[in-house]
A and B are shown apart, each in its own frame.
Chain A
Amino acid sequence: MKLLIKSGRLIDPAGAVDQVMDILIENGKFKEIAKSIKKVSGCSVIDAKELIVAPGFIDMHTHLREPGQENKESIASGSQAAARGGFTSIACMANTEPVNDNRSVTEFIIARARQVGLVNIFPIAAVSKGQLGENLVEMADLVEGGAVAFSDDGHCVMKADLIRKALEYAKMLDVPIIEHPEDHSISAEGQVNEGFISYKYGLRGILKAAEEVIVARDLILQERIRSRLHLTHISTAGSVELIRNARKMKTPVSADATPHHLLLNEELILSYNPVYKVKPPLRTEADRLELIRGLQDGTIDCIASDHAPHTRDDKDKEFEFAPFGVIGMETSFSVVYDRLVRSKLLTLNRLVELFSTNPARVLGLKNRGRVKPGYPADLTMLNLKKRFKIEEKDFRSKANNCPFLGWEGQGAIEHTIVSGNVVYSRKNRV
């Protein structure tokens, strides 16, 4: 099995490469990367002229709903959606039914992912048993079973003592703890960002402080523990500032933001359309702009979708009764490229870091996020000229709760290649 990718512009920040290259793949691994590689017999060729070739994109925050809520999404449909969105690897959160808090669930997910065989799926296990915030899971056993990180995502680890112990224990295992920063006693039954808009439209608010007090708490703990702490779906300017300062103090921390927090603000809730109901809530325009600055100056390491599928009926409800969450894997690259790179807020090189290099590093995925001989041949190929329109009919996810429906712009995924196999091609509808 050989595959030759000819004349694509390879952007690989980890190897400091940005130039037109040929890439030869053999037996699922990168074999050679050079200016010009001759085609040998029995070798398929992809003409990548006009395309960008990047190390495979990694979405480090998704919800695949399997086991338990396969009516919303499954490992199969989620894999399809990932491939279409250009993601060669995804990490899935633990709030399934049952919760991924023991090795058998982790192993089940890995086995299902193998059966589906499209993209690499890395389970994230819960921090606490049942995600109840009381007792630690058997972390070492879970790591042996294949868990790459720990998170109670969907919930915050509210007990400071528990997050402290989780961080300390995880340090021994050299795995990251991913915090969903939300003080539930502040956010309570909140629905949207608290402020003028929540007051005017009569919706219970979630103060920015609900996020920031946990960010601050975790950073203070981490200052001494120096484990691997990752703060996910950061949504406020205050959080960005706290993380920025922590980095100056050399506190080890990483963070991600979602495309919806980077591109949308709270004003969208005026329609009471539950598609805009997410946690953390869409914030103010000032917060949004500060998140973008966080991407620019390196405070925020990754873009992750927080892909949270729900059925149509789940979201077709009164705003207050609808669940939180939007889907994102199939739209992340296009909307971020169109709105942030084309408008010169980010460079293409930085985008590849945010989507591939950094998530690989944060999750500690060995030999990924980089195009190097011997590494698994995961590639995402981009067509920057292709116009896109986001339409429900194209989704491979089971869900349609996407806040970007109807958006148009430029920049599409052309091919997604996992271990040398083309798992998605825009034209061929693979």
Chain B
Amino acid sequence: MKERIFSQDHLLGIEQLSVDDIETILETAEAFIEVSSREVKKVPALKGKTVVNLFFENSTRTRSSFEIAAKRLSADLINFNSSISSLKKGEALKDTVLTLEAMNPHIIVIRHSASGSPHYLTTFARSSIINAGDGFHEHPTQALLDALTIQQRLKTLRGLKIAIIGDILHSRVARSNIILHQKMGNEIALIGPPSLVPREFEKMGASVYYDIRSGVKAADVVMMLRVQEERGARNYFPSIREYRNRFAINREIFALAKKSAILMHPGPINRDVEIETSMADSEQSVILQQVTNGIAVRMAVLYLLKGEIHETLN
């Protein structure tokens, strides 16, 4: 039996993954979906391994998803929640991680508001690092679970048009998805106001649209991003009302996409802001399937990284 090779010590971003790596993760996740459908939702694959959830931003969803994934693989899990404000007060991230590492964990899952923090950890930590979202940079497990969902619904991950709508500039979900679909050779349409979707994103292999209709046209996947009121406060757009009128998805606009198109959202959704509420619960919406797949994808990543304690680089 040929055993698949996964080339990574860490999951820092989609950027570092090859197409083979992405496919390995998705295949493994497919296998783990079955575990979650069992009566006894547990396998001993990571028995004796310790996973640390190191979250510096509130995120009940991602944190619980990783927690359930680790537990279904029989890993021991520690939740360590802190706030950026305590970091800013001089409690160095490095000290926090070194302290946690003295307890010999195998995998550290980190969520942090500063882009590149997981990369920074790999310069001194011995554990496998999983990026659960860093600043505006990447959120690789989200893009992978999105990919799994697309594959399940559309039976392929290639030859697709992916429309991503909203605050691309501040979205790590968007970045990871753009990189993933660019690697898969898919067509990517980015839609939003110029202040949130600079033209330079075209250099990442995407097309930029300021008109939602032309962007959504003939799309296979319509991916909405969460709009944060705070951006409005900072004048990225004048008001939520104006944003909704130009960039919210509704049935009429969604009808411009392909018949088979699906509607995605990384959650939590702002009903009737970026998404018309009846759309969120429609047949085409795969929002809850995304959540379910999140567990399988995170199980796959935890399993594939396994978290041998690595020699530190320096």
Interface residues of A (CB under 8 A from B): 195-196, 199-204, 271-272, 313, 316-321
A272-B120, A316-B92 are known; give 8 further A-B pairs, CB within 8 A. A196-B204, A199-B204, A202-B134, A202-B137, A203-B136, A318-B93, A318-B120, A320-B113
Bound Cα distance A203, B175 (Å)? 12
Known: A200-B204, A272-B120. A321 touches B88 (CB 8 A): yes
Taking CB atoms and an 8 Å cut-off, the chain B residues in 150-169 that contact chain A are 169
Name the one of A195, A201, A313, A316 contacting B116, with C-beta atoms under 8 angstroms.
A201
Name the one of A313, A316, A317, A320 contacting B135, with C-beta atoms under 8 angstroms.
A320
Bound Cα distance A316, B97 (Å)? 13
Name the one of A199, A201, A203, A317 contacting B198, with C-beta atoms under 8 angstroms.
A199
Instruction: Determine whether the beta carbon of B201 is less than 8 Å from that of A199.
Output: yes
B94 close to chain A: CB less than 8 A: yes
Instruction: Determine whether the beta carbon of B87 is less than 8 Å from that of A202.
Output: no
Quote the shortest CB–CB distance from A319 to chain B (angstroms): 5
Instruction: Determine whether the beta carbon of B135 is less than 8 Å from that of A203.
Output: yes
Known: A318-B112, A318-B116, A318-B120. A202 touches B203 (CB 8 A): no
Known: A202-B135, A202-B172, A272-B120. A319 touches B200 (CB 8 A): no
Instruction: Determine whether the beta carbon of A202 is less than 8 Å from that of B200.
Output: no
How would residues 261 to 303 of chain B score, 1 for a CB under 8 Å from any chain A CB and 0 otherwise?
0000000000000000000000000000000000000000000
Quote the shortest CB–CB distance from B218 to chain A (angstroms): 26
Instruction: Determine whether the beta carbon of B119 is less than 8 Å from that of A272.
Output: yes
Query: Which residue of chain A has the shortest Cβ distance to B135 in the bound complex?
Result: A202
Inside 8 A of B134's CB, which chain A residues have their CB?
202
Quote the shortest CB–CB distance from B108 to chain A (angstroms): 15
Bound Cα distance A195, B135 (Å)? 17
B36 close to chain A: CB less than 8 A: no
Count of chain B residues with Cβ under 8 Å from any Cβ of A?
Answer: 26
Bound Cα distance A199, B201 (Å)? 7
Inside 8 A of A201's CB, which chain B residues have their CB?
115-116, 137
Inside 8 A of A204's CB, which chain B residues have their CB?
136
Bound Cα distance A319, B134 (Å)? 11
B114 close to chain A: CB less than 8 A: yes
17 contacts between A and B (CB under 8 A): A196-B204, A199-B198, A201-B116, A201-B137, A202-B115, A202-B135, A202-B136, A202-B137, A203-B136, A313-B92, A317-B92, A318-B87, A318-B116, A319-B116, A319-B117, A319-B120, A320-B116
Quote the shortest CB–CB distance from A232 to chain B (angstroms): 28
Instruction: Determine whether the beta carbon of A202 is less than 8 Å from that of B175.
Output: yes
Inside 8 A of B119's CB, which chain A residues have their CB?
271-272
Inside 8 A of A316's CB, which chain B residues have their CB?
92, 94
Inside 8 A of A271's CB, which chain B residues have their CB?
119
Bound Cα distance A320, B113 (Å)? 9
Bound Cα distance A179, B87 (Å)? 33
Instruction: Determine whether the beta carbon of A203 is less than 8 Å from that of B115.
Output: yes
Name the one of B87, B120, B203 contacting A196, with C-beta atoms under 8 angstroms.
B203
Inside 8 A of B198's CB, which chain A residues have their CB?
199
B146 close to chain A: CB less than 8 A: no
Inside 8 A of B94's CB, which chain A residues have their CB?
316-317
B138 close to chain A: CB less than 8 A: yes
Quote the shortest CB–CB distance from A259 to chain B (angstroms): 25
Query: Which residue of chain B has the shortest Cβ distance to A313 in the bound complex?
Result: B92
Bound Cα distance A186, B28 (Å)? 46
Known: A203-B135, A272-B120. A196 touches B200 (CB 8 A): yes
Bound Cα distance A132, B243 (Å)? 37
The 5 closest A-B pairs by CB, nearest first: A272-B116, A202-B137, A202-B136, A320-B114, A318-B114
Name the one of A200, A272, A319, A321 contacting B175, with C-beta atoms under 8 angstroms.
A200
Instruction: Determine whether the beta carbon of A319 is less than 8 Å from that of B114.
Output: yes
Instruction: Determine whether the beta carbon of A319 is less than 8 Å from that of B87.
Output: no
Inside 8 A of A196's CB, which chain B residues have their CB?
200, 203-204
